[in-house]
Structure formats: C-alpha cells, structure tokens
Amino acid sequence: MNLDDILKSRRDTRHFTADEVPDEVIQKALQAGHWAPSVGLTDATRYYIIKSDEIKSAVKNLFLDYNKKAEELTDNPEQKELYKSLKLEAIEEAPVGLIIAYDRSVLNQFTIGTIGSNEAVKFSTVCAAQNIWLSLTEQGYGMGWVSILNYFQFKKLLDLPENIEPLGYFCIGKPATNYGNQPMLQQLHWKQKSEKAHCTEINSIHKINVSDFDLKSQNKTEIQNDFSQALQEKIDSKTKPVGSLGTLESLAFQMATVFETLNPKIINPNIVVFAADHGIANHGVSDYPQDVTRQMVNNFLEGGAAINVFCRQNDIQLSIVDSGVNYDFPTNAKLINAKIAKGTQSFLHTAAMSETELKLCFEKGKSIVKDIAKTGSNCIGFGEMGIGNTSTASVLMSLITGFSLEDCVGKGTGINEQKLLEKQNILKKAIENYSGQNKLENHLSYFGGFEIIQMASGMLAAFENKMLILVDGFICTVAYLIAFKINPDIQKNAVFCHCSAEKAHFKLLDYLKAKPVLNLDLRLGEGTGCAVAFPVLKSAEAFLNEMASFESAGVSRK
C-alpha cells in the first residue's frame, strides 16, 4: 500500500474477528511507534500488552461504569438513544489490548522542548500511537482507542506507577468490517467528517486588554466608635471575668466588626487553594520535583489530601484553583481554571512573569473571590500549592520588608542544611542579577508566583466584600504582606491562623504585628492551618451569640 492509501484506510476499529494477532505484527507496530518524533529525545513513551481475559473484563466494567455518565451529558433524547446504539469499544472481543502511556518522570531532568509546555511529552506519545495505528493498517490489522474511562481508577486497577500517564486502552485485532470506507461514527450518522482540513491564516496580532490595578496604598480608615463600644459591652457583659476568654474575645470582636453586626454568623465558609508552578524549581531549591504540584492537585481533586480531610471534618467548602500548573487538567475537572501560563519563568536569569501576566493575576484573583462572595460566603481561607514557592515567597519578603535573605529563607519542604545553603546562594544570585526598579509592582512581576499574586488580589477582594480573611502559613502570609502594602486596612479582616515551623514566618508575623491563633509547628501549606483553626472561630462565634449575660442569668458582676 502507498502512504495515501494507508492514511485514508486507517480506522478507529470497533469490530474484530477472532483471529489471533501474531507477535511479529505487534513488534513491527511498536517499532514504528518507537520511530515517532520524541521531544528532546526523551523516549518517554511506554507500552503495556494485555491478553488476559480477566483484565479485559475488569477494564470493560470500568468503561461501562463511566459510559453511563457519558450518556447523561446530552439532554437531546434522540442523540441519547443514538449514543446508546454506538459501539464504542471492543475490549473483550479484541485479541490484544495495548496501553500506550508516557512517563512523566523524564521531566524531573531538564529536557529540551518542554520549556513552553510539559505536555510536549504527551504529544510525542500521541505521535507514537499514530505510527502504531498506521503500521497495523499497513499489515492488515486495526486498532481502536478507548478513552471513556476513569483514568484514576484505570491506573489503580492495573497498578501503573504514579509517573505513568496512559493515553487510554487500545484494542488490536483483525478488522471485521471496513465500515463502508467511512469512519464508524459517520456511517452511523453521529457526525459527518469534513472533506478537507480546516486551515485559517493568522495575519494580525491580537492585543490583550487587561485592567490596570492601583498598587499604591489605599488606606481608608473609618471610625465606628458607637458600634465598637456596644460590641465591647456585649462581650464584657457575658458571665465571665473580663478578658478571661482571651483570644476568643478578640476573634469575636473582629468577626462582629467585619460582619457589621452584634450577632455575627459565619456563612458558607470556603477555603481556596491556589496552585502554580515556579521556574526557580528547576534549579534544585526543593527536594521534590516540580511534577509534585500536578500530583498534589490531583490528590486535592480526589479528596485525599490533608486539606480535604480537615475541610470535611469542619464542613468547609474547598475550592481548588489552577493558577499556573505546568499541566493540562481535564476540562471536566472540579477546579477553577485561572491559569496564567504553565508555570513562571526562572527568576534566576529573567523575569518570572510579564507586566500583562501580573495584571491578569490581579484580575483573576479578584474575580475568583467575588464569585465566592456571591454564594453568600462571608469567610474565606487561603491556601497554596507549588513546588518552589517558598523560594519565591522568601525573596519577596526580603525585598518588601528589608530583612536579610538569610532571615527569610527556610527549609520549605524539608531540605537539609547543605541544600538550604545552596538554596540561599541561588536566591542571592537571583537578587544580584535583578536590575529593575525598587517598586512593589516591579518586584512582583520579576520574582512573583502566579498563585501568590492571585491570593494577594483575592484577599483585597475579600476585604472589599466584607469577608473574614483566614491566612494560612508562610507563603500565604507573604501574599497578605503584598495585599497589606496595597491596602493596610485589610488587617481589620485578617485572622492569622497559625505560626508555622518555617523560621521566617515568625519574623514576618512580628513585622505585621499579627497574633496567630495556633502554634502547632505546621508547615504543610494547602490552607490546612485555616481549617484546623476554624473550630476556634466557631467557638468565638458561639460564645458571643449564645453565652448568657450577667443580666439575663441573674449573676452579679464584679
């Protein structure tokens, strides 16, 4: 067959004969896949052969379970019936099953071709899949791609390593039909395939219009003496010695002031975890590879992380934001898409982000919190996830506060003393390489992280919407520091949930004159400190609203 004939006759095969597939046919096809282009010569493509009837049956059940959900995605009754009539897999009928996957662990090393997107590794594997398909077609065999699967369960079922990402399950065998020289979906009138490729020439540049944000101080102090006096009297009139509930009294006063009521009630509390990758992580500032950011976001989405556990325990809504993870999550993933780019650039040699990206961060952070406020939520916690973000936070803290870099750099994910010294030297060199202006906006665009800036913007938006702002650990406190420099009044709404084990956090809290609610040596991030401190806030709310006063209880005052 000539190449054009092979290309035209390749089909997504769903009907197979019972004929066996010789091993040499498979080996020839896999060799064709190996010849496919591979970004940076990573050789990241991996193959797994399946001939076991038991495994095929288990994969078929996975398909059936997920396919029921797929049927419900259309509200058109006719289309729903047509969908049910389509044969979308031949998992048990095909003699051979093939898993084509890619190994994400190759990204733990610098790889040419993946700077713009780590997904280039996946694209290479798709090229391999196409070569396999064409080779099988040329040999008189067919292949069908089954993608309607829960990939998390699929990997667990087959015990695939965490770093292996399957494109799907592929059925291989002798085709039982040529579908009338048409793709099956076209033959069954699901959709017509166009005759020619759709191609449009782009001959102009689209200008991105992003709103400007005022990064200058916006202090707008308001005096509410009458309300404050009434609130303090309510607190002091409870059946207890004045001040005996300590921090709970301060929290109750703050909560009532933010909500502007003597009977404050936390409504629809929400903890938002902002996740993004950092170019500086490529220089070994963390013990963990950058891909852990993506892995942990998947863990959040699956409900298995510490923040998921604590939010469930305390009935707190959890929102996950993709601020700039170096990964393309499925479009139906339960996360807020605020991706600016697939990670920042490394600020060791160049700016982490452009001015436009900085403005987009402020825009998206504000929009996310405004949408949460519209649900009626009046209490929002901020958490983060991003390998390398303690480095970003440390540099920003040093530049904004004037503290020495040594005072601002900690062990982050738990690096040893030698690694800590190397981390300090890398960050010192980065600051020495900086030649920009000594202004907040310049520091933010050159050294900032997408998730840190979005959190800062979100905190400002929470203040505007009269929400109680729960601040987690070191990185979130640096985000608060940015917001505080823009609008010092934000301190009225901020609750610092804990003092972390990151050494710079204590120094930063002292700089901000902030008193943390807890001190549990936490250094996990994710907003866990907010969730763990939340019951203390509920206790403050409860005593103010439910505790008897001296008068109502008939108890004599001092």
* Percent of the chain whose predicted confidence (pLDDT) is above 90: 64
91-121 pLDDT tens trace:
999 999 999 999 988 877 777 776 666 678 8
Region 49-64: mean pLDDT is 95
482-505 pLDDT tens trace:
999 999 999 999 999 999 988 899
What confidence tier does 209 reach under pLDDT thresholds 50, 70, 90? low
pLDDT of residue 284: 83
At residue 251's C-alpha, the angle toward residues 245 and 256, to 5°, is 120
Torsion on CA atoms 96, 102, 103, 108, rounded to nearest 10 = 180
Bigger pLDDT: 40 vs 77: 77
Q: Which two three-digit tokens encode residue 25?
A: 């046919």
Question: Distance between CA 23 and CA 237 in Å, rounded?
Answer: 85
pLDDT of residue 461: 96
Bigger pLDDT: 368 vs 124: 368
pLDDT of residue 219: 55
Beta bridge partners of 47: 100
Residue with tokens 């070569």: 131
Contact 138, 7 (CB under 8 A): no
What confidence tier does 211 reach under pLDDT thresholds 50, 70, 90? low
Whether the per-residue pLDDT at 207 is higher than 80: the answer is no
User: Which of the residues 357, 384, 526, 541 is marked catalytic?
Assistant: 526
Q: Is 406 left (phi over 0), alpha (psi -120 to 50) or beta?
A: alpha
Region 18-23: mean pLDDT is 95
Whether the per-residue pLDDT at 363 is higher than 60: the answer is yes
Q: Which two three-digit tokens encode residue 332?
A: 């139906």
370-425 pLDDT tens trace:
999 999 999 999 999 999 999 999 999 999 999 999 999 977 667 788 888 989 99
Bigger pLDDT: 328 vs 534: 534
Average pLDDT in the chain? 90
Sequence length of the chain is: 558
Region 169-175: mean pLDDT is 96
What confidence tier does 224 reach under pLDDT thresholds 50, 70, 90? low
Region 216-239: mean pLDDT is 77
What confidence tier does 5 reach under pLDDT thresholds 50, 70, 90? confident
pLDDT of residue 71: 78
Region 197-217: mean pLDDT is 73
Question: Distance between CA 250 and CA 257 in Å, rounded?
Answer: 11
Poorest-pLDDT segment among 174-178, 266-270, 525-529: 174-178
What confidence tier does 203 reach under pLDDT thresholds 50, 70, 90? confident
pLDDT of residue 375: 96
pLDDT of residue 223: 53
Contact 283, 277 (CB under 8 A): no
Across 95-184, where does the E strand assignment appear?
96-103, 142-146, 164-173
| Range of 69-83, 274-288, 327-341 with top mean pLDDT | 274-288
Question: Distance between CA 168 and CA 145 in Å, rounded?
Answer: 7
Whether the per-residue pLDDT at 220 is higher than 60: the answer is no
| DSSP string over 280-331 | GGGGS-SSS-THHHHHHHHHHHHT-SHHHHHHHHHT-EEEEEEEE-SS---T
Which long-range contacts link 115-121 to residues 24+ away (Cβ below 8 Å)? Answer: 116/342, 117/326, 117/342, 118/291, 118/326, 118/327, 118/342, 119/327, 119/328, 119/342, 120/39, 120/40, 121/39, 121/42, 121/44
502 is known as an active-site residue: no
Bigger pLDDT: 71 vs 508: 508
pLDDT of residue 196: 84
Whether the per-residue pLDDT at 82 is higher than 70: the answer is yes
Question: Distance between CA 75 and CA 69 in Å, rounded?
Answer: 12
Bigger pLDDT: 182 vs 6: 6
Sequence-ordered alpha helix ranges (H) in 99-149: 120-138
What confidence tier does 518 reach under pLDDT thresholds 50, 70, 90? very high
pLDDT of residue 193: 78
Beta bridge partners of 383: 273
Poorest-pLDDT segment among 2-11, 407-416, 473-482, 545-554: 407-416
What confidence tier does 330 reach under pLDDT thresholds 50, 70, 90? confident
pLDDT of residue 148: 86
Which of 311, 230, 234, 227 shows the shortest CA–CA distance to 269?
Answer: 311
